[in-house]
Amino acid sequence: MTDMNPATRPPLPQRPFFSSGPCAKPPVWEATRIATQSLGRSHRSKLGKARLALCIDLMREVLGLPDTHLIGIVPGSDTGAYEMAMWTMLGARPVTTMAWESFGEGWVTDAVKQLKIDPVVMRADYGQIPDLDAVNWDHDVLFTWNGTTSGVKVPGSGWIAADRAGLSFADATSAVFAQDIDWTKVDVATFSWQKVLGGEGAHGVLILGPRAVERLESYTPAWPLPKLFRLTKGGKLIDGIFHGETINTPSMLAVEDAILALEWAQSIGGGPAMKARADANAAALDRIVQGRDWLEHLVADPEIRSNTSVCLTVEGADADFIKRFARLLEDEGAAYDIAGYRDAPAGLRIWCGATVDTADIEALGPWLDYAWHALKSA
């Protein structure tokens, strides 16, 4: 750093990986720790299926998922998993789609323009959330549990009707392993390993509750389904998908990487410990925000503020300022990939999920100060 006296240079975060996806690897991660016995083997071999089944079992344990819900590893990351759910189950009854950030808007677009099901659309601006009490649970309801691009999460699950007639479809990719989820309120959930687990992308996880399975076995959509989306055969669920027999060929390297992350999660205390780490990171970042008058939360209401994808506004900043801010910190090795999402208001987005260490969030504060003062005085 040319503009700072080496004697006063603050310590760098040990792991400056604050990207909101792919996210920081677990603190113990090393390539040499990834099990290799399944690499170069068929995913349909006895060993391959056993490793996939182990990954599913570990996800169930760490998530605290009840036996009533099934877990399948599917193609296409979280997007693929959510598309699979939409295309196979929607159309049986009216639909409400909710959007308060970019990915929620993507589900609206698919419902309106691709499936043409004329949904009720409930929207809110970045940093806000729609009126959840106004949701009609006679409808199937699509929503993001945690809006990765806005930093807005739902305030728990109390707003989801226990006696709902429709299905609840939760895009939970930045929420699982970091936020409390009442699985009795969730009929469909999706996520990818690349977020809170710090795993690799390209694979999605699809969770189905019993009401979703009933829908799949009793309803045939009017539109054709690609092979990668087909979850039933002869009107019955393809059960093997939820025991490690994937629809298409998975990356066994990505599977082994996910197993490593899940075993780390187990070793620190499972889901509750993962959530506690994310909460501690978000609290540390909030202390940084509270101590600076030029920095604010995009999400003013703490009840709906994410503890993973935390979005911040910078006084007077436009997209170019944010780009230079993030590049300066990247060049210094202080923070990687903290510019806000391209469709979001100009600002910073700092990942606080469980694979980040609180000490690294705390070490980030002086470097945010440096970037701010360096650019304002330029």
pLDDT digits (tens, 9 = 90+) for 114-130: 999 999 999 999 999 99
Q: Is the pLDDT of residue 5 over 80?
A: no
Q: Is the pLDDT of residue 184 over 90?
A: yes
pLDDT at 1: 41
Query: Same domain for 171 and 47?
Result: yes
Asked if 257 and 28 touch (Cβ cutoff 8 Å), the reply is: no
Query: Same domain for 79 and 188?
Result: yes
Domain membership flag for residue 302: yes
Domain membership flag for residue 2: no
Asked if 299 and 306 touch (Cβ cutoff 8 Å), the reply is: yes
Tell me the mean pLDDT in the region 178-186. 98
Query: Same domain for 236 and 320?
Result: no
pLDDT at 6: 61
Query: Same domain for 98 and 233?
Result: yes
Looking at residue 195, the DSSP 8-state letter turns out to be S
Query: Same domain for 114 and 95?
Result: yes
Q: Please count the residues of the chain.
A: 378
Give Cβ neighbours of residue 216 (< 8 Å, ≥ 6 apart). Answer: 88, 89, 208, 231, 232, 237
Query: Same domain for 180 and 42?
Result: yes
Write down which residue in 220, 247, 266 finishes a domain: 266
Domain membership flag for residue 4: no
Domain membership flag for residue 35: yes
The residue to which tokens 């959840």 are assigned: 132
pLDDT in tens, 39-88: 999 999 999 999 999 999 999 999 999 999 999 999 999 999 999 999 99
Q: What is the pTM of this model?
A: 0.96
List of E strands, 131-285? 140-144, 146-147, 152-153, 168-171, 188-192, 203-208, 232-233, 236-237
Residue 314 belongs to a domain with what CATH number?
Answer: 3.90.1150.10
Residue 185's domain spans which residues? 31-266
Domain membership flag for residue 9: no
What band does 183 get if pLDDT is binned at 50, 70 and 90? very high
**Burial (CB count within 10 angstroms: exposed 0-12, middle 13-18, buried 19+), residue 92:** middle
Domain membership flag for residue 104: yes
pLDDT at 2: 45
Distance CA 72, CA 91 (A): 22
pLDDT at 8: 73
pLDDT at 142: 98
Structural domain total, the chain: 2
Asked if 144 and 121 touch (Cβ cutoff 8 Å), the reply is: no
Distance CA 107, CA 113 (A): 10
Distance CA 352, CA 215 (A): 36
Distance CA 58, CA 255 (A): 12
Residue type, 215: R
Asked if 146 and 172 touch (Cβ cutoff 8 Å), the reply is: yes
Average pLDDT over the chain reads: 96
Asked if 149 and 243 touch (Cβ cutoff 8 Å), the reply is: no
pLDDT at 374: 95
Residue type, 207: I
What band does 378 get if pLDDT is binned at 50, 70 and 90? confident
Return the number of other C-beta atoms located less than 10 Å from residue 342's C-beta.
8
Assigned token pair, 17: 């990986």
pLDDT in tens, 218-265: 999 999 999 999 999 999 999 999 999 999 999 999 999 999 999 999
pLDDT at 4: 60
Query: Same domain for 93 and 219?
Result: yes
Domain membership flag for residue 239: yes
Distance CA 288, CA 284 (A): 7
- Helix 210-218 to helix 77-89 angle (10° resolution) is 50
Query: Same domain for 277 and 327?
Result: yes
Tell me the mean pLDDT in the region 135-148. 98
